[in-house]
């Protein structure tokens, strides 16, 4: 079960493992920048609201 604060799941593969389909730098930017931002904004939005008690 997920609980607050939410954290990014570890990738089950290396950033370079998708090289046949996309560049490792693309995966790195998406996961370590964009995905991190989504999780940070979710946690920020939930923090100190009534929603916080429903996420544990």
Encode pLDDT of 33-47 as tens digits: 999 999 999 999 998
pLDDT for residue 44? 93
pLDDT given at position 12: 95
**What is the spatial distance between Cα 49 and Cα 42, in angstroms, rounded to a whole number?**
12
Q: Cβ neighbours of residue 52 under 8 Å, at least 6 residues apart?
A: 4, 46
């Amino acid at each position: 079960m997920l609980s607050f604060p939410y954290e990014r799941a570890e990738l089950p593969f290396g950033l370079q493992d998708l090289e046949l389909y996309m560049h490792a730098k693309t995966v790195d930017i998406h996961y370590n920048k964009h995905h991190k931002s989504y999780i940070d904004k979710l946690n920020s939005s939930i923090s100190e609201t009534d929603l916080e008690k429903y996420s544990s």
